[in-house]
Each structure stands twice: as structure tokens, then as C-alpha cells.
Amino acid sequence: MVNFLQHTFNGLVGGAFLALLALGLAVIFGMLRVVNFAHGAIYMLGAFGAYVLLTEVGLDFWWALLLMPLLLALFGIAVERLLVARLARLDPLYNFLLTFGLTLILQDAVKSRYGVQSSPYDAPALLSGTVDLGAFDFPAYRVFVLVVALAVCGAVWWLLTRTRIGMVVRAATERPELSTALGIDVGRWVTPVFGFGIGLAGLAGVLAAPIRAVNPLMGADLIIVVFAVVVIGGLGSIFGSVAAGFAIGLVQAWVQALGEHWALLSQVLVFLVMAGVLLWRPAGLFGREEAPA
Amino acid sequence: MLRIDDLSAWYGEARVLRGVSLDIAAGEVVTLCGRNGAGKTTLLRCVMGLHTGQQGLVELDGRPLTGQPAHRRARAGLGWVPDDRGCYATLTVTETLTLPPVVGPDPWPLERVYEAFPHLHARRNAPSTTLSGGEQQMLALARVLRMGARLLLCDEPTEGLSPLLVAQVGDILRQAKQHGVAVLLVEQNLHFATTVADRHHLLAEGRVVESLENSEVAAREQDLLAYLGI
């Protein structure tokens, strides 16, 4: 039982990263119809940025947690304005290829400067201990990650469902043409939403730095799983992507807990789940079929 | 209020409007009749600015709308009532009503909308796509009234509605008309059209082939119905 609780907790922490990344992908896809392949590379830049800020600038984790998401959001805004927007009128495949190319450039740029081995990054001193959660002592930093991820997902949920901005973004996401005919300047929301989604990936990266291996390929390994998570949740569904992120994190942790042989299966599992979900609900768990144009 | 002059439109190579010209004054209801494929919906989309590939003049209050994106045209006073009723699965009824900005001098406050449409009030927190067809149509009309739009572009607002609801749509349009709102109405239901409209334009193969005063329609009803293929 105690073991089960521990695995469940670890699954939630793993799911927190998947949820933050999937959430960013989902808001970007919803608004721009762009599948941002570079999302994993941005996550990697978030973690690497934290490492570089610490070793070369002397700014600690807390500064990184504040600065990296902002810097990467600005980077995302520049990418959207200078590159993504130019391809927006073409087949979405072009923007997929663009972000794929961007991924290769970013990964190789980091690789050529810092090599492929993992760079060590310690959790901040304040969070180095453990937290007694009744049945078990959990590492304080992992509890912190979970709390931050839940708070961010909750805040995005609130923003989207309870504010006028959220309402406009929902309308623009669901029916862009109708929304413009109703006086909504849909184009105005594209750039900030893209920057916001990128910023979320950067945040996930900074949070990952102390507990995941920080190396140029850390995002490449994760992004494929995140794509599967987004598809399971329903492409473009905000709620679906977050729920599926946490669910997949949990399932992976539970299967890994079964033993060493099962650990391999946990890598494949997410794709088996995806295949099953798609057979059962082609639009994903919380997705809606796209209305015919 | 609205002036369309020599408007042409294309879908790729296919020309769907061929030099359409018409005017609508404030407080006037003008219909576009014609068979499917005559170009009625395309004409509305051109006025709204949703159709790329158009040529010619569209003027609102003497100011050309040419080249303006749809959201600016909405803010200039155009009210969009699309044939699919324009509901959202991710917006509640209240959100769907309050999504557009207020653009005209005489907008309906939300309370007045809900007084006039108690069915919408009862479902105000439901996603707007879950309303019945008739309720969705009322919602689409109520939404442009709440905007205070000065020219409504209505695409077959009576399609698929019960006679009772058709009568209610008529009431709404006549009420708007009395407040100086102009309406460009695409309508297949000739009988309904004569109860609300001042003038009618018959569209065929992208051209206005005939323009009639409302009084002329009754005399030629059989003739026109045959022409519309009904």
C-alpha cells in the first residue's frame, strides 16, 4: 500500500510534466492549427537555460523559474511573427516541417556548445528535504513540481473558462471564421497564445532541470510521448490534454512498479493506449470531430 | 445605407457572382431569392468580407468596405446571422450572446434579450450548440440585436423552423426594421419573405435577373414559385 502510494505520487509528478507540455501544445494547436514539433526543444532550452543561468550568470533556480519561461515566450513570439505567420495560409504541414527543422537547429546548437552528456543541476536548497505526507516522506522538490503544475493548469483553466479573454480565445479556437464575422479580431490572439504555449514548455523545462537529465536530447525523448498524450486527450482539447497527461503519468508509474520487465512496456504503453483510444473514439477522449469546413 | 455596385465573385476559376448591384436604405428589408447555387450565400459572404476572390464595390454609409477584414465590418455595424446559426460547443448561451462587441447606437441589453426570449434564459448556462434548431435561430438573431448591428445579413433564418417560430422570426425582423435596422435577407420561403420585406431581388446564375416591389410579388406568386422551383 505504501509502495502503491509512492508510485502514484511519482506518476503524478511525471504526469505534471506531460500535462504542462500537452497543455501548451493544445492551446497552440487550437488557435493556430499548428502542431508545434519544437515543443520538446523548448522544454530542453528551459532546462538548459536554468543550467546556463546558474553556471555562467550566477542566477539560481528561482531566477530561472521566473526568467526562462518569459525569455522563451518572447522567443516564441519572435518565431511566430517571423516564421510561423508567413506559412499560416499554406497547408499546416509546412509549419510542422518548420518547427521540426527548428528542433534540429536548437538541439544541435546546444549539442555543439555543451556536448551530449548530462549537465548536473541541483534542486534549490529550500526544497532539498522531504515533506511528510502522512504515509510517506516525499521529496520536497517533487511535491513543489506537482503543486506548481496543478496551480498553472488550474490558472489556465480559470483564465479560459471564467474570463472574457478566455471566452474570446475559445470562440476563436472553435470557429475562427464565424468569430471574425462577429467582430472578433482572431489574428490578434494568435501571437500571444503561441508565446504563452511556448512559455509553458519553458516552465516545464526549468522544473525538470533538477530531477531529469539535462541534455540536448531530453526534449526529443519526451515530445513523442506528449504528442500521444495530446491525441489521447483529444487534439485541441485543453481539459483533455491535461487530464490525459496526468493519467498517462500514473499508468506509466504503475506499470514500471510491476518490475524490471515491465519498465520496457511502460515506454510502449502510451502508444498502445493511444491506439486503443483512437479505435474507440477517433477524436480522442475529450475531442470533438472537426466540423466540416 | 448599404450599396453594392458591380460585385463579382469567384470560387477558384468558377465565377459565382456576375456584376450584382443593389442598395438598401435604413429600415428597409430586402430579400435575395433564387435557387440553390444562384449565389445568394456568396453575396452575403462578400458583404461580410468572408469571401476572398471578389471584385466590385461594397459601401456602408458611403464608406467603402473593400479590403476590410470581417471583424472591422462587424464593428462598422454588420450583423452576421449565418445559415448554420453560428453556435459554439465551447460557449454557453450567455457567452454566445455577449461574445460580439456592441457596435451600434441602439443595442439590446442582455436583460431585454432574455425578456424577449425566455427559452434562451432558461438555457443560459448550456453550451449553445445543445439548443434546439429553433432556439439556435433565435440566439443568432438575438446576438446581432444585442450588438446593436445596423444592417443584418440573414441567411435563411426560417429554414427548418415550425410555423410558430417562423412567425416569431418575422416579428423580430419587423421590430428591428421599425428601429431603423436594415436587413439583407436570403430567403427561399416566398410567402414569409412577403410578410417582412419591402423589396425582392431574384438571383440566377450570379446575376440579379429581376427586382420587385413587395406589392408586385403577390400578383406574380405562381410565376415566381415556378421560377424558384418550389
Selected for mutation to probe chain B from A180, A190, A289 (highest B CB count within 10 Å) is: A180
Taking 90 as the threshold, does the pLDDT of residue B139 lie above it? yes
Q: What's the pLDDT score for residue A292?
A: 39
Tell me the pLDDT tens digit for each residue of A243-275. 999 999 999 999 888 877 777 787 788 899 999
Tell me the pLDDT tens digit for each residue of A81-127. 999 999 988 888 999 999 999 999 999 999 999 888 888 888 888 88
Taking 60 as the threshold, does the pLDDT of residue B187 lie above it? yes
Task: Give me the residue from A177, A186, A187 closest to B50, CB to CB.
Answer: A177
The lowest-confidence range among A25-39, A47-61, A256-270, B151-165 is: A256-270
Q: Are B4 and B47 spatial neighbours (Cβ–Cβ below 8 Å)?
A: yes
Q: Indicate left, alpha or beta for B200 from its phi (over 0: left) and psi (-120 to 50: alpha).
A: beta
Q: State how far the Cα of A224 lies from the Cα of B13, in Å rounded to an integer.
A: 42
Q: Total structural domains in chain B?
A: 1
Asked if residue B100 belongs to a domain, the reply is no
CB–CB of A171 and B89 under 8 A? no
Chain B residues inside the 8 Å CB shell of A187: 69
Strands (E), B51-98: 54-60, 63-64, 78-81
Task: Give me the residue from A180, A183, A288 closest to B89, CB to CB.
Answer: A288
Asked if residue B11 belongs to a domain, the reply is yes
Q: State how far the Cα of A275 lies from the Cα of A231, in Å rounded to an integer.
A: 10
Beta partners for B207? B204
Asked if residue B221 belongs to a domain, the reply is yes
Q: What's the pLDDT score for residue B174?
A: 94
Taking residue B106's Cβ as centre, other Cβ atoms within 10 Å add up to 13
Q: Rounded to two decimals, what is the model's pTM?
A: 0.86
Query: CB of B99 within 8 Å of any CB in chain A?
Result: yes
Taking 80 as the threshold, does the pLDDT of residue A135 lie above it? no
Asked if residue B8 belongs to a domain, the reply is yes
Taking 60 as the threshold, does the pLDDT of residue A164 lie above it? yes
Query: Which grid cell is A243?
Result: 487530464
ipTM for the complex shown? 0.93
Strands B14-24 and B2-11: antiparallel
Chain B residues inside the 8 Å CB shell of A177: 50, 70
Query: What SS3 class is residue B68?
Result: coil
Packing angle of the helix pair A39-52, A187-208 (nearest 10 deg): 50
Q: What residues does each domain of chain A span?
A: 14-216
Could you please report the per-residue DSSP string of A131-158?
A: EE-SS-EEEHHHHHHHHHHHHHHHHHHH
Taking 50 as the threshold, does the pLDDT of residue B180 lie above it? yes
Which residue range(s) make up the domain with B161?
Answer: 2-85+150-228
Chain B residues inside the 8 Å CB shell of A184: 71, 99-100
Q: Are A244 and A254 spatial neighbours (Cβ–Cβ below 8 Å)?
A: no
CATH of the domain at B38: 3.40.50.300
Task: Give me the residue from B75, B86, B89 closest to A183, CB to CB.
Answer: B75
| DSSP secondary structure code for residue B153 in this structure | E
Query: What SS3 class is residue A185?
Result: coil
Confidence band for A137, pLDDT divided at 50, 70 and 90: confident
Asked if residue B24 belongs to a domain, the reply is yes
Strands A137-139 and B182-186: unpaired
Query: What SS3 class is residue B182?
Result: strand
